[in-house]
Amino acid sequence: MSQESLPLIAHLVELRRRLLLALAVVGGLFLALFAFANDIYHFLAAPLLAALPQGGTMIATGVATPFFIPMKLTLFVAFFLAIPWVLYQIWAFVAPGLYKHERRLILPLVISSALLFYLGLAFAYYAVFPVIFGFFSATAPEGVTVATDIANYLDFVLALFFAFGLVFEIPVAMILLCRSGVIAPDQLARQRPYVIVGAFVVGMLLTPPDVLSQTLLAIPICLLFELGLWLGRLTPPPRDPEDAEHD
């Protein structure tokens, strides 16, 4: 029986099952990492601590903040680590309704999406954070002691992580657009000037309000657009679904 012929309740039950499987792995990873919450936060804070001037430190302004903030970070880390499994559950839910040639395409895209997301996180941590925090520390007014609150720091870096993780998905999105026939690679190429302007607008919206972090996000957007454009040219055009049934 095809997925289209299943009643709505069956779809909802299957969706619920897939969500529970995804949440179970996220919860299991969180419990496994619980004992290392403080170590994880120290690793995350390393780029800022390395950029602070001598005597600079981080502070906690809330009574329970030293406990809850590392726990919050650990939950996000568990989710990040479970992303391949979460994406697989999404793929497994939609796969029965896809044609055979579409199923062959989706799984590589799921894998590449997870890898690109991790690459975005790594780029933010190893390339962007040292530059941003070094710049902020160097521009602090004389007589001002830099003492960042750990809760504010976590919100700051999580915003950058999500921004760079999503931005690095641009090639996958462009491949899907080209493969589905929504837009042709040549049409995308003609939009390059607008993409460059839009990259800086997106950088302004997704990153903290400073020119440096906005630029560090806009430049990868432009480069990833070019990569997606190149891959889109290699992607075959969509085929007639009736022909695809005979694969």
Percent share of the chain, pLDDT over 70: 88
Look up residue 82 and give its two tokens: 């479970």
Model confidence band, residue 158 (pLDDT cutoffs 50, 70, 90):
very high
Q: What is the average per-residue pLDDT within 27-45?
A: 95
Question: Where do the structural domains in the chain lie, given as residue ranges?
Answer: 1-140, 169-247
What pLDDT does residue 79 have?
A: 94
Model confidence band, residue 239 (pLDDT cutoffs 50, 70, 90):
low
Residue 19 has pLDDT above 70, yes or no: yes
Percent share of the chain, pLDDT over 90: 28
Q: Which residue has the higher pLDDT, 164 or 212?
A: 164
What pLDDT does residue 70 have?
A: 94
Residue 171 has pLDDT above 90, yes or no: no
pTM: 0.79
Model confidence band, residue 102 (pLDDT cutoffs 50, 70, 90):
low
What pLDDT does residue 151 have?
A: 92
Residue 247 has pLDDT above 60, yes or no: no
